């Protein structure tokens, strides 16, 4: 059974005690199993406080992240690549300490519009780092999943096929693919083939609408996507992502180009998405009876 999760930015743009407490309480109240925390500044993250707040709830936890220009493991600069490896190792350590099992997102580079295509050197650098980080992650019981994002947010790969090729070159089966319906809706030919192509190499799923607002109010073909997840017996996390100027994180809001308000009531949005996801899962489950 998949854990149904919610990205913390639905509830809070800050991750000190107050913000985290709010995110944990509201995620639980909206009916989710898991809280996904964006680890935007792993070295500044207060693990002890987060651990304490999570211990008071029965929520599972996961973390997502992207690297910065100073920690881009896809860079040609060895110092920057080294800083990136340290940041990823720190993030793995945090997830492990929090009792989480998943670290996902753009772990292979920066979430930004790159000025040109990825270089062979940058690709190889990022793959070398991920090969090493994956071994440490496996020892800590943490699974890495690389998120496939659209062309405006990465130049490394933009489709599931591209991610699988990249991972074939890495050659470590413990690293999985992370698919996000929002990005798939921009770059893929449909919502079924990528899931079938990834099959048991799919490790994490983000559910986002085409405009990243209320599920069902945009153009994403969720019916097909959930059918495909059922076809491959996907049982990893399924986390809802939505962004609005109603809740702002300085780094993430800018890199994701969140310029307008798509909702103002986090509780209503969160409950709606939880019901929406569970409803789709229930529907595809019954196909087995047909
Ligand atoms: Mn995503």
- C-alpha 77 – ligand 1 centre gap (Å): 27
Catalytic residue among 36, 85, 188, 241: 241
- C-alpha 7 – ligand 1 centre gap (Å): 9
- C-alpha 212 – ligand 1 centre gap (Å): 10
| Across 5-15, average pLDDT | 95
* Cβ neighbours of 114 (radius 10 Å): 17
Q: What is the pTM of this model?
A: 0.97
- C-alpha 205 – ligand 1 centre gap (Å): 8
Residue 250 has a pLDDT of: 82
Predicted confidence band of residue 255 (pLDDT cuts 50, 70, 90): confident
Note if 241 is an active site residue.
yes
Catalytic residue among 147, 153, 188, 209: 147
Over residues 69-101, the pLDDT tens digits come to: 999 999 999 999 999 999 999 999 999 999 999
Over residues 158-207, the pLDDT tens digits come to: 999 999 999 999 999 999 999 999 999 999 999 999 999 999 999 999 99
């Amino acid at each position: 059974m998949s854990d149904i999760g919610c990205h913390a930015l639905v509830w809070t743009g800050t991750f000190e005690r107050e913000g985290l407490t709010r995110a944990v309480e509201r995620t639980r109240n909206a009916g989710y199993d898991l809280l996904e925390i964006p680890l935007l500044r792993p070295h500044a993250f207060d693990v002890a406080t987060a651990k304490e707040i999570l211990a008071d709830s029965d929520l599972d936890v996961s973390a997502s992240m992207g690297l910065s220009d100073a920690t881009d493991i896809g860079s040609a600069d060895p110092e920057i690549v080294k800083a990136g490896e340290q940041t990823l190792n720190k993030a793995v350590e945090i997830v492990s300490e929090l009792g989480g099992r998943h670290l996902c997102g753009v772990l292979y580079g920066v979430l930004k519009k790159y000025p040109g295509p990825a270089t062979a050197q940058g690709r190889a650098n990022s793959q070398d780092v991920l090969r090493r980080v994956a071994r440490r992650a496996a020892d800590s019981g943490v699974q890495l999943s690389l998120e496939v994002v659209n062309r405006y947010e990465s130049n490394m790969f933009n489709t599931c096929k591209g991610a699988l090729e990249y991972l074939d070159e890495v050659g470590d089966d413990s690293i999985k693919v992370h698919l996000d319906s929002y990005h798939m809706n921009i770059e893929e030919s449909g919502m079924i083939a990528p899931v079938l192509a990834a099959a048991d190499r799919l490790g994490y799923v983000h559910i986002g609408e085409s405009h990243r607002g209320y599920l069902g109010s945009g153009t994403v073909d969720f019916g097909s996507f959930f059918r495909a997840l059922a076809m491959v017996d996907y049982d990893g996390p399924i986390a809802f992502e939505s962004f609005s100027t109603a809740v702002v994180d300085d780094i993430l809001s800018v890199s994701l180009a969140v310029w307008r308000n798509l909702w103002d009531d986090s509780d209503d949005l969160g409950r709606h998405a939880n019901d929406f996801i569970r409803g789709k899962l229930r529907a595809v489950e019954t196909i087995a009876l047909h």
